[in-house]
Amino acid sequence: MSAFAEVGIDGLVVVGASNAAETAALCAQARMPLVWMHNMRGDVDAAIVRVDHQRAGEIATRSPFEAPQCRDIAFVGGFTEADVHHGDRETVEQRYRGATAVDGADITHIHSDLTADGAYGAVREFLNSRSPPPEGVVVATYGQTAATTRAVADHGLRIGEDVKIVAFDGGQAKYGQFDTTSARQPVDSIAQHALERLMATTAASSDARRKRPELWEPFLHVGNTCGCCLFEIDSLWVDARHRPGSGRCHAGNKRIKRSRRPQGPRR
């Protein structure tokens, strides 16, 4: 913090840190305003502006698997101390709570350590242990998505047909084989709001230390890894089989109606 202060930095927007409490304490000691943009481990005396991860888990599970035949779903990602030594297990737990809140969904939890190797091994072991495979897979973190997709494909299953895959915050490389259907964060809006909060506060401002996080609504990006039929979630209509970028689905001329991205936090 002293290095930041010496070069004229007088406020921080923190995306994430493993030592959140220590970072917050140093900022308080330096009287430097702080706004957090993610989950953290432990309590901090700072404003928190982030996406609603539990809602993201619900959207990722409910939306692509809304059709009656899509009820057998696996969730990939651990969140206990026994599962995860390094990783964002708080976020995974919130997403898991959202997934299990979906009415009618039969969720099987595939525990992993949130690494790519851990996800690949856990998914392959799971697929080898049961038949038939699950109808859908929800991958709890971006970092596990490519490995999970590869594990499903290596098992001889067709992505989007035999097994539907939904993730969070994107998926494969931009020009990879799969455009992953995923629940995503309005990052630009969250960052802009965090900066506005920071600019409007001082180190002594009580508003800067609002305990309750400001939660932003996630949105669904529809790619080609989920082949369910037309469904509705709130004001969001999509067809998971549409040709990305075309605005129309393959099987017919129905227009895809998308909800607008959220314009502000949910209080």
| pLDDT tens, residue order, the chain (267 aa) | 566 666 767 787 877 666 677 777 777 777 777 787 777 666 666 778 889 999 999 999 987 777 556 788 999 999 998 999 877 888 999 999 999 998 777 899 999 999 999 999 999 999 999 989 999 999 999 999 999 999 999 999 999 999 999 999 975 566 678 889 999 999 889 888 888 888 876 544 545 455 567 889 999 998 889 875 433 333 343 333 333 333 333 333 333 334 345 556 765
Residue 102 CA to its chain's centroid (Å):
16
Query: Phi and psi for 32 in degrees, rounded to 5?
Result: -110, 115
Residue 229's pLDDT is 41
Contacts of 92 (CB under 8 A, 6+ apart): 77, 78, 79, 84, 114, 140, 141
Residue 120's pLDDT is 98
Residue 202's pLDDT is 56
Q: Which CATH class is domain 53-182+218-238?
A: alpha beta
Residue 35's pLDDT is 81
Residue 110's pLDDT is 97
Residue 41's pLDDT is 62
Residue 17's pLDDT is 60
Residue 112's pLDDT is 96
* The two three-digit tokens of residue 96, written as one number: 């898991």
Contacts of 72 (CB under 8 A, 6+ apart): 106, 108, 134, 135, 136
Q: What is the gyration radius of the CA atoms in the chain, in angstroms?
A: 20
- Please, where in the chain does CATH 3.40.50.2300 lie? 53-182+218-238
Query: Phi and psi for 123 in degrees, rounded to 5?
Result: -70, -40
